Amino acid sequence: MLSNRANADSILADSSDDLITRIAWLYYKGKLTQQEIAESTYLSRQKVQRLLDRARDLEIIKFDVRHPHNNLLSVEERLRSAFGLRDAVVVPWRKEDVGMRRAFAMAGAGYLERLLGRSGECTLGLGWGNTTAYLADYFEPMTPKKPKVKVVSLIGNLMTDVAMNPYIVGMKIAEKMGAPFYNIWAPAITQSKERAESFRSEPWIGETLQMGSGADVVLLSIGEVSRSASLFRMGYLSEGDLARIVRKKAVGDILSRFFDSRGDLIDDAIHDRVVGIPLESLKSGKKTVVAVAGGAAKVAAIAGAIRGDLVDVLVTDERTARSLLKLEAKEAA
Q: What is the 3-state secondary structure (H, E, C) of 77-140?
A: HHHHHHHCCCEEEEECCCCCHHHHHHHHHHHHHHHHHHHHHCCCCEEEEECCCHHHHHHHHHCC
- H or E segment and range at residue 289: strand 288-292
Question: In this structure, what DSSP letter does residue 68 have?
Answer: T
> Is the domain of 141 the same as that of 42?
no
> Is the domain of 102 the same as that of 40?
no
> Which of 27, 42, 68 represents a domain boundary (last residue)?
68
> Angle 95-22-216 (CA atoms, 0-180°, nearest 5)?
90
> Is the domain of 140 the same as that of 216?
yes
Sign of CA dihedral 127, 129, 132, 137: positive
> Is the domain of 40 the same as that of 109?
no
> Is the domain of 34 the same as that of 153?
no
> Angle 309-312-318 (CA atoms, 0-180°, nearest 5)?
110
| Chain center to CA of 157 | 18
> Is the domain of 63 the same as that of 147?
no
How does pLDDT run along the chain (333 residues), one tens digit per residue? Answer: 434 444 444 444 445 778 888 898 898 877 889 999 998 888 998 999 999 988 888 877 664 444 445 568 889 999 999 999 999 999 988 777 778 888 888 999 999 998 998 878 899 999 987 777 788 888 988 766 666 899 999 999 876 665 566 678 888 999 999 999 999 999 889 989 999 999 999 999 999 999 999 999 999 999 999 888 878 877 788 889 999 999 999 999 999 999 999 999 999 999 999 999 999 999 977 899 999 999 999 999 999 999 999 999 999 999 999 999 999 888 877
**pLDDT tens, 250-264?**
999 999 999 999 999
> Which of 22, 40, 68 represents a domain boundary (last residue)?
68
CATH number of 168's domain: 3.40.50.1360
> Is the domain of 29 the same as that of 119?
no
| Chain center to CA of 138 | 14
SS (H, E, C) 219-237: EECCEECCCCCHHHHCCCC
**pLDDT in the model for residue 15:** 59
Domain of 50 in residue numbering reads as 1-68
> Is the domain of 77 the same as that of 42?
no
Q: CA dist 12 to 92, 99, 116, 302, Å?
A: 12, 11, 20, 25
> Is the domain of 111 the same as that of 136?
yes
> Is the domain of 230 the same as that of 282?
yes
Please name which of 156, 110, 97, 100 lies closest in space to residue 137, comparing C-alpha atoms: 110
**pLDDT in the model for residue 8:** 44
Domain count, the chain: 2
> Which of 16, 46, 68 represents a domain boundary (last residue)?
68
CATH number of 27's domain: 1.10.10.60
Cα R_g (the chain), whole angstroms? 20
> Is the domain of 22 the same as that of 115?
no
> Is the domain of 84 the same as that of 46?
no
